[in-house]
């Protein structure tokens, strides 16, 4: 049964009259057609959410009988109510040439990583690498990730779980977002085999640039007197306890700190506050990816500890949400 047929069954089973659809940016082109298809097949009214949809950490309430969330696998530890995760079929694996392009970059013992989109390819790629003499490990999922080898931008369990058994990683995917976190977190080489370009690359240069940016953010925050600690309202990003701990830590170091509660963290919503630097406990990637958008330093919790002198730079840790 395909996903639309499975969804129609759920709509009928729940006697839903209204259905909300949530799409990440990359799938917006499908929104109009899918909404029309569901309306015609199920006799329901669809509401397409035009709010940003960043991950399974963020499945906002909608005034509907059933929410359909696309593009992300559910986070096993979260309780979702009235949510159908529409599992789009990944593309077919037509050639292994892009994996072969990565062979010169790989050590003998390799951890294999990807995102939900390409998860179905991992067994075949593992077999292929083994036929080339590699020992391959695929980390098991945990509370926040649903599939073996799956990475999130905020959870690298499937990489760290096998770190002791591998000398480097091969990421199957198109962008740098997910493998960058592995390169920052584990001191082992990370290669990317990109199925769209059909090529392979390493991440060393990007990692160096990001490390320099993090150094700069920490240095700029050094003389800050008042910190704003951001807490997200999104269910899978909310770290209030951590924020309270950081506020307490700031105060023991003679710094002022206030907690700011918000949904979408964006530069325009942080304008006007008398805050010298921000500490972000929401999505860990905001401080990394959006660094150039913020006028004031935006730190991760661990970077804030470095600013306060609680942690040495040598003990730098990339922020993760490990529920």
Minimum Å gap between C-beta 154 and ligand SF4 is: 3
- Nearer to ligand SF4 among residue 58 and residue 305 (C-beta): 58
Structure tokens of 227? 């910190």
- Nearer to ligand SF4 among residue 64 and residue 154 (C-beta): 154
List the one residue out of 52, 49, 50 whose CA is nearest residue 68.
49
Residues 6+ apart with CB under 8 A from 199: 98, 101
Q: How far apart are CA 287 and CA 291, in angstroms?
A: 5
Minimum Å gap between C-beta 165 and ligand SF4 is: 25
Minimum Å gap between C-beta 150 and ligand SF4 is: 11
Minimum Å gap between C-beta 21 and ligand SF4 is: 19
Within 10 A of 186 (CB to CB), how many other CB atoms are there? 19
By CB under 6 A, name the binding residues for ligand SF4. 54-55, 57-58, 152-154, 236-237, 283, 285, 321
Greatest Cα pair distance, the chain, in angstroms, is: 62
- Nearer to ligand SF4 among residue 42 and residue 114 (C-beta): 114
- Could you give the dihedral angle defined by the CA atoms of residues 120, 145, 317 and 257, in that order, rounded to the nearest 10 degrees? 140
Structure tokens of 222? 């050094």
- Nearer to ligand SF4 among residue 55 and residue 228 (C-beta): 55
Q: How far apart are CA 242 and CA 319, in angstroms?
A: 12
- Nearer to ligand SF4 among residue 141 and residue 308 (C-beta): 141
Q: How far apart are CA 113 and CA 121, in angstroms?
A: 11
Minimum Å gap between C-beta 318 and ligand SF4 is: 12
Within 10 A of 12 (CB to CB), how many other CB atoms are there? 12
- Nearer to ligand SF4 among residue 117 and residue 237 (C-beta): 237
Residue 319: DSSP 8-state: -
List the one residue out of 270, 317, 316, 263 whose CA is nearest residue 293.
270
């Amino acid at each position: 049964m395909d996903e639309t047929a499975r969804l129609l069954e759920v709509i009928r089973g729940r006697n839903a009259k209204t259905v909300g659809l949530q799409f990440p940016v990359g799938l917006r082109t499908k929104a109009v057609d899918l909404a029309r298809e569901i309306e015609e097949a199920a006799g329901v009214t669809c509401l397409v959410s035009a709010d940003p949809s960043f991950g399974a950490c963020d499945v906002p309430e909608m005034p509907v009988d059933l929410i359909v969330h696309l593009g992300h696998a559910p986070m096993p530890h979260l309780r979702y109510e009235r949510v159908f995760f529409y599992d789009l079929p990944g593309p077919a694996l037509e050639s292994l040439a892009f994996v072969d392009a990565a062979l010169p970059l790989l050590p003998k013992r390799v951890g294999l990583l990807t995102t939900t989109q390409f998860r179905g390819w991992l067994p075949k790629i593992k077999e292929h690498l083994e036929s080339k003499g590699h020992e391959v490990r695929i980390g098991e999922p945990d509370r926040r990730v649903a599939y073996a080898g799956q990475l999130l931008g905020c959870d690298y369990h499937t990489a760290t779980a096998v770190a002791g058994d591998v000398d480097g990683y091969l990421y199957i995917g198109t962008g740098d977002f997910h493998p960058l976190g592995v390169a920052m977190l584990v001191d082992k080489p990370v290669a990317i085999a990109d199925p769209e370009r059909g090529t392979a690359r390493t991440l060393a240069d990007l990692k160096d640039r990001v490390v320099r940016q993090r150094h700069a953010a920490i240095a700029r925050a050094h003389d800050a007197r008042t910190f704003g600690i951001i807490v997200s309202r999104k269910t899978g990003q909310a770290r209030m306890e951590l924020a309270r701990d950081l506020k307490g830590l700031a105060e023991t170091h003679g710094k002022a700190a206030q907690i700011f509660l918000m949904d979408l963290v964006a530069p325009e919503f942080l304008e006007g506050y008398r805050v010298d630097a921000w500490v972000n406990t929401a999505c860990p990637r905001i401080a990394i990816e959006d660094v150039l958008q913020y006028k004031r330093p935006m730190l991760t919790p661990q970077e804030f500890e470095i600013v306060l002198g609680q942690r040495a730079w040598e003990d730098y840790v990339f922020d993760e949400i490990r529920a």
